């Protein structure tokens, strides 16, 4: 069971902007092949970093407004928030170690 959360327009402010932990968001869609490759890594990281990094997913088909607000042009897209502001961004199905590098300075 993954420790990751589903991020929506309704909980974005609470879960991301006001989070005391760094927040890594995976923008994805069920029809996206690279997203399906990256998904299990994101779930694994959510479990491994539980309590140190909040890791969540945004389904762009269901949360199009959040995707537009973040300028998501291609998926998968990873955005790291720290203290309510964007601290990093990567696109594509990247290796686990590259994802960890995104937040290693914040844990």
Catalytic residues, which ones? 32, 35
Q: What is the dihedral of CA 68, 72, 73, 76, to 10 degrees?
A: -140
- 68: its two tokens: 């537009």
Are the C-beta atoms of residues 22 and 55 closer than 8 Å to each other?
A: no
């Amino acid at each position: 069971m993954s420790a990751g959360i589903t991020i929506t327009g309704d909980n974005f402010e609470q879960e991301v902007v006001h989070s005391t932990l760094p927040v890594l968001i995976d923008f994805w869609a069920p029809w996206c092949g690279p997203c399906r490759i990256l998904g299990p890594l994101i779930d694994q990281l959510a479990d491994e970093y539980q309590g140190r990094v909040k890791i969540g997913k945004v389904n762009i088909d269901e949360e199009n407004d959040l995707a537009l607000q973040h300028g998501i042009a291609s998926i998968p897209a990873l955005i790291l928030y720290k203290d309510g502001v964007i601290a990093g961004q990567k696109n594509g199905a990247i290796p686990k170690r590259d994802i960890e590098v995104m937040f290693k300075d914040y844990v």
